[in-house]
Amino acid sequence: MIKEALFPYSKNLIVSTKVGVKVGVSGRPEPAATADEIEVTVKRDLENLGKPSLDLVFLRLAGGPLKGSGVPLVESMECLAELQKMGLIKHIGLSSASIEQIEEAASIVKVDAVQNAHFFGSRDSSDVVHFCDAAQIPFFAYFPLGMGMLIQKKIDLESFAKAHSVSTQQIALAWLLALSPTIVPIPGASNIEHLRENVAALDIKLSQREMEAIQRLV
């Protein structure tokens, strides 16, 4: 679908892909982080995208539904490092990673990005955000609107939204962007209007007082 919509690719376009996970026969995600599985996935993605090399490949680590993969992180990272040396991968990232996993991976190959869930009302990845900020590692925040959890916090953000004449969702995105210059929220969009609203959040500038007030609500 990406190739059909965007090929030939713009020089400024970065297409990220993910390895370490596959859809099992039951339809649920399963670990796929052995060296052989990663190599197969990378080569399949290259063919599907019609690219000579992948711009950014995230290794999905074994947490949540992927617990119990039994594959050492070093095996997966050494495979990615070798594929990078071969020119099949440009940049390597980690998904659903802890600080300890980032540090272990970085001892093998440069970690160019981290992708974790992070949103208003959650502190689960706060330590990783601070770590990435200090290390100048781009942090891609997925589920930045909290998979519906933001609705439960709507009253908390309503006053800020009214002050800026925007939606509470836009305030939540603006808050994320203001946390660190390394944060890149990756919200979904079901239509063009949602996409425009998401992009418009880049123009919302929250004051230090507003940031402190919002932080107290988190």
Give the C-alpha separation, 217 to 120, whole Å.
9
The answer on pLDDT for 186 being more than 50 is yes
Q: What's the mean pLDDT in 155-175?
A: 91
CA–chain centroid gap for 180, Å, is: 14
The answer on pLDDT for 11 being more than 70 is yes
Q: Which CATH superfamily hosts domain 2-111?
A: NADP-dependent oxidoreductase domain (3.20.20.100)
Domain residue ranges of the chain, discontinuous segments joined by +: 2-111
pLDDT greater at residue 3 or residue 147: 3
| pLDDT of the residue at 65 | 47
The radius of gyration of the chain's CA atoms, rounded to the nearest angstrom, is 19
Q: What are the angstrom distances between the C-alpha of 176 and each of 5, 126, 143, 160?
A: 29, 11, 11, 14
Q: What's the mean pLDDT in 146-175?
A: 84
Task: Dump pLDDT digits (tens) for 38-58.
Answer: 999 999 999 999 999 999 999
Task: Dump pLDDT digits (tens) for 68-112.
Answer: 567 899 999 999 999 999 999 999 999 999 999 999 999 999 999
Span of 64-68, 104-108, 195-199 with lowest mean pLDDT? 64-68
The answer on pLDDT for 212 being more than 50 is yes
| pLDDT of the residue at 155 | 61
Give first-to-last CA distance, the chain, whole Å.
37
Q: What are the angstrom distances between the C-alpha of 6 and each of 2, 25, 146, 154?
A: 6, 30, 28, 36
pLDDT greater at residue 183 or residue 157: 183
| pLDDT of the residue at 153 | 59
Q: Yes or no: say if 96 and 127 are a contact pair by the CB < 8 Å rule.
A: no
CA-CA-CA-CA torsion for 161, 164, 166, 169, nearest 10 degrees?
-50
Phi, psi values for residue 89, rounded to 5°: -130, 135
The answer on pLDDT for 127 being more than 70 is yes
Phi, psi values for residue 28, rounded to 5°: -95, 155
Taking every pair of Cα atoms in the chain, the longest distance, rounded to a whole number of angstroms, is: 53
Q: Categorize the per-residue pLDDT at 119 as very low, low, confident or very high, splitting at 50, 70 and 90.
A: confident
The answer on pLDDT for 24 being more than 50 is yes
